[in-house]
Structure 1
Amino acid sequence: MSECTVESCTVETSDGVKLHTRLFKPREEIKEELVVVLVHPFSILGGCQALLRGIATGLAERGVRAVTFDMRSAGRSTGRASLTGFAEIKDVLAVCNWLSDTLSVNRILLVGSSAGAPIAGSAVDQIEQVVGYVSLGYPFGMMASILFGRHNKAILESPKPKLFVMGTKDGFTSVKQLNNKLSSAAGRAETHLIEGVSHFQMEGPAYDAQMVNLILEFIASL
């Protein structure tokens, strides 16, 4: 038997998009009042909340509630995806506001994977309840910045604690590019590099347990 339960619901955005959302809860004791909201990779390339199920399950099994959701146009969510991820910021805001209003959650950790990282980063300072941010493979590189570069300023200027996790063989961002970007970041900005791992390899289930441990360690430091 799984050590967590999963509840499905629909969250509506400010512009009327209906998001298919899942809340992962510990079957036993909730050890942490903070809730982790996971933002999936680029919808246009097949990104969906199912890619983050392993991390969400692992967190719930360790006593921390987690939320996944399909951004607009992904999975069973309505609406149309945007190329630059700016419409999807509304999706992140809607889910966080739903947690705050419906479950009275007052501490949220935003975790973004791949293109979900810049989208989540743009939402960090728009939500009072967000107390920290974790990026899994932020696409800082030149080609990715054509689509997502306008998001960078928001997270780099945020004073909230930040952790950037990346494989050293990430094809979208080099270690040098990551370090250059973070050299001007406000507040606490940490990195965790996984040696020899590529961008999409890190998104695979083989690394879910490691991602869970890194997220839990970061939560403990907040």
Structure 2
Amino acid sequence: MSSKSVIIEGSDGINLSARIFNPKEETKDAKLGVVLVHPYSILGGSQGLLRGLATGLANAGYLSVTFDMRGVGRSTGSKSITGFAEVKDVITVCNWVSQNLSVPNILLVGSSAGAPIAGSAVDEIKEVVGYVSIGYPFGLLASVLFGRHHKAILQSPKPKLFIMGTHDGFTTVNQLKKKLSSASGRVETHLIQGAGHFQMEGPDFDAQMTNLIVEFVRSL
């Protein structure tokens, strides 16, 4: 596995700092790449939090790309509170990956607040064939910020996997089930017993997240 940094130019003049994680040629799955969307920029979320997961996915044979959304790290522009400006960043990166890295299909993975942001982009990108959420903030308090994102992913016909810890402080298991009961298409959930929201963003769970995502990809 090797990685390299690139700057991706957005359509609205925003430059996004990204990192490409390349699998070894002998293990590479040429049909699919993974784009990972980091947790909430306002609370210090950045692509660095997803490095372990991207490395694991690349070692499993999938080209993976992390990036800093606008206003984070070396990416230009300003962060938004509700994440709607950042949806454009996800679309920009996916289009760039599709056009420049010869990846015909993309799996979008969003962590924490990155999950609603990625979810709003899923049906805007034809190359996206599936979606994985890690700790989607569906709870009442989080919905004040991200509630307007819910509809897009719940109504998308594309296959979806929702991974959540049973001790997630933003969303209860019942809130997750209630929300997903109205979702379209193929919907899978995986609950991690005893795990809290921020634990899932840490390196301790990278190997488990990698395995769950690889299993989901192979089922697509």
Superposition TM-score, scaled by structure 2 size:
0.98
For the residues of structure 2 that align with 1:197 and 1:99, how far apart are their CA atoms?
32
What secondary structure is seen at the aligned counterpart in 1 of 2:182? coil
For the residues of structure 2 that align with 1:88 and 1:34, how far apart are their CA atoms?
23
Confirm whether residue 216 of structure 1 aligns to residue 214 of structure 2.
yes
TM-superposed CA distance for 1:208, in Å, is: 0.2
Q: What residue is the counterpart of 1:72 in the other structure?
A: 70
For the residues of structure 2 that align with 1:116 and 1:30, how far apart are their CA atoms?
28
Greater Cα shift, 127-136 or 31-40: 31-40
Q: What residue is the counterpart of 1:178 in the other structure?
A: 176
Q: What residue is the counterpart of 1:121 in the other structure?
A: 119
Equivalent positions of 1:96-115 (< 5 A) are 96-115=94-113
Identify the match of residue 16 of structure 1 among 6, 13, 16: 13
TM-superposed CA distance for 1:28, in Å, is: 3.8
For the residues of structure 2 that align with 1:90 and 1:30, how far apart are their CA atoms?
32
Q: What residue is the counterpart of 1:58 in the other structure?
A: 56
- Do the aligned partners of 1:30 and 1:65 also contact (CA within 8 Å) in 2? no
Q: What residue is the counterpart of 1:196 in the other structure?
A: 194
What secondary structure is seen at the aligned counterpart in 2 of 1:151? helix
Q: What are the Cα deviations for residues 18-73 of structure 1, in whole angstroms up to 9, with x where unaligned?
A: 00011101134243220000000000100000000000001111111100000001
Q: What residue is the counterpart of 1:27 in the other structure?
A: 24
For the residues of structure 1 that align with 2:207 and 2:82, how far apart are their CA atoms?
30
For the residues of structure 1 that align with 2:112 and 2:22, how far apart are their CA atoms?
24
For the residues of structure 1 that align with 2:26 and 2:64, how far apart are their CA atoms?
14
Q: Identity of aligned pairs, percent? A: 69
Greater Cα shift, 171-180 or 9-18: 9-18
For the residues of structure 1 that align with 2:190 and 2:142, how far apart are their CA atoms?
20
For the residues of structure 1 that align with 2:194 and 2:202, how far apart are their CA atoms?
14
- Tell me which amino acid in the other structure corresponds to 1:205: P
- Tell me which amino acid in the other structure corresponds to 1:189: V
Where structure 1 has 5 or more consecutive residues not aligned to the other structure, the ranges are: none
- How large is the Cα RMSD of the aligned pairs? 0.7
Identify the match of residue 135 of structure 1 among 133, 136, 141: 133
What secondary structure is seen at the aligned counterpart in 2 of 1:24? strand
Where structure 2 has 5 or more consecutive residues not aligned to the other structure, the ranges are: none
For the residues of structure 1 that align with 2:47 and 2:134, how far apart are their CA atoms?
14
Superposition TM-score, scaled by structure 1 size:
0.97
- Tell me which amino acid in the other structure corresponds to 2:168: D
Greater Cα shift, 97-106 or 174-183: 97-106
- Tell me which amino acid in the other structure corresponds to 2:12: D
Q: What are the Cα deviations for residues 177-222 of structure 1, in whole angstroms up to 9, with x where unaligned?
A: 0000000000001100000010001111000000000000000000
What secondary structure is seen at the aligned counterpart in 1 of 2:167? coil
For the residues of structure 1 that align with 2:15 and 2:28, how far apart are their CA atoms?
30
- Tell me which amino acid in the other structure corresponds to 1:210: Q
- Tell me which amino acid in the other structure corresponds to 2:18: T
TM-superposed CA distance for 1:101, in Å, is: 1.4
For the residues of structure 2 that align with 1:109 and 1:183, how far apart are their CA atoms?
23
Equivalent positions of 1:153-164 (< 5 A) are 153-164=151-162
